[in-house]
Structure 1
Amino acid sequence: MIPGTAYLWLKAIHVAAALTFVGGVLAVSVLLAALPADPAIAAPFARGVRRWDRAVTTPAMLLVWTLGLILATSGHWFTETWLQVKFAFVLLLSGLHGVQSGRLRRLATGSAVRPLRTAPIVLACLLVIALMAVAKPF
């Protein structure tokens, strides 16, 4: 069990990292849906966003997972249904981030990719994750 003050700090950092991660995934979702089909125009934008994704969004995701697992272990919550549902949506969001990263990589090198419209999925995941974490409905 993590002492009270340390638990609160870990939880606060976990939430801040989660907001950073989801914000990055949502921003990339909007960019991938809005970029023009011409790779010559899209590539410079994709390179800049890819740098941000690699420097900020990916480390935030790793921090979210690390702290989330520490907090779940501390609270002995792995058998709780709310946490299992939350993990499923966090896994979906992490997988979506992987798909987006691949698209950004291809766009940054000048390859054409089909538009990817995932913002509604990101927002739905965020909603379910927040509800599970705060309300713990089951």
Structure 2
Amino acid sequence: MYLYLKAAHVIALATFIGGLILLGLTLRGVGLERHADGTRSFGATVLKWDGYITAPALAVVWIVGIAMVFGGGWETSAWFLAKLPLVIFLSGLHSASGAALKRTIATEGEVSFFFRHTAVWTLLAFSIIAVLAVAKPI
């Protein structure tokens, strides 16, 4: 059963990370240009994708991840405790980036330095999480 949970976790994680990188690239300015009719269709499409695909994938990541942690008895392991703040950071980054994209589309405002680099923060945090989860160095 554990291997099936692990597979579900990896699939959901890949979907979530891909969606968060897509949000980050969109906030970077890809697809935020106005069309002749005044719409920003790509940004709106990214928000729909986020709501239908990325956010549910995040929920699966959390649910299955918690099941694996408690099923494996890792709740007090140093590697898990080290990666947990990064997992929380990525969850918060997802919510904040989605809100920033909605705000940017609605107001045509500038995107802050932090949100323009969402894809970078995502890759950095995910890389550290992957090393901690796979290698369990501590």
TM norm structure 1:
0.87
Aligned identity (percent) is 35
**Which residue does 1:13 correspond to in 2?**
8
Partner letter of residue 112 of structure 1? Answer: E
Separation of aligned partners in 2, 1:58 and 1:44: 20
Separation of aligned partners in 1, 2:31 and 2:130: 33
Q: Confirm whether residue 22 of structure 1 aligns to residue 17 of structure 2.
A: yes
- The alpha-carbon deviation at position 84 of structure 1 amounts to 1.1
- The alpha-carbon deviation at position 44 of structure 1 amounts to 1.8
Alignment of 1:49-88 (within 5 A): 49-88=46-85
**Which residue does 1:130 correspond to in 2?**
130
Alignment of 1:39-118 (within 5 A): 43-108=40-105, 110-115=106-111, 116-118=116-118
CA contact (8 A) 1:35 1:42 kept: no
Query: 1:35 and 1:42, CA in 2 relative to 1: closer, same or farther beyond 3 A?
Result: farther
TM norm structure 2:
0.87
Consecutive unaligned residues in structure 2, runs of 5 or more: none
**What is the SS of the residue equivalent to 1:71?**
helix
**Which residue does 1:3 correspond to in 2?**
none
C-alpha deviations, 1:84-116, integer Å up to 9, x for none? Answer: 1111111111110011110222234x2123222
**What is the SS of the residue equivalent to 1:34?**
coil
- The alpha-carbon deviation at position 7 of structure 1 amounts to 0.7
Separation of aligned partners in 2, 1:73 and 1:47: 38
**What is the SS of the residue equivalent to 1:133?**
helix
Report the aligned-residue RMSD. Answer: 1.8
- The alpha-carbon deviation at position 38 of structure 1 amounts to 5.9
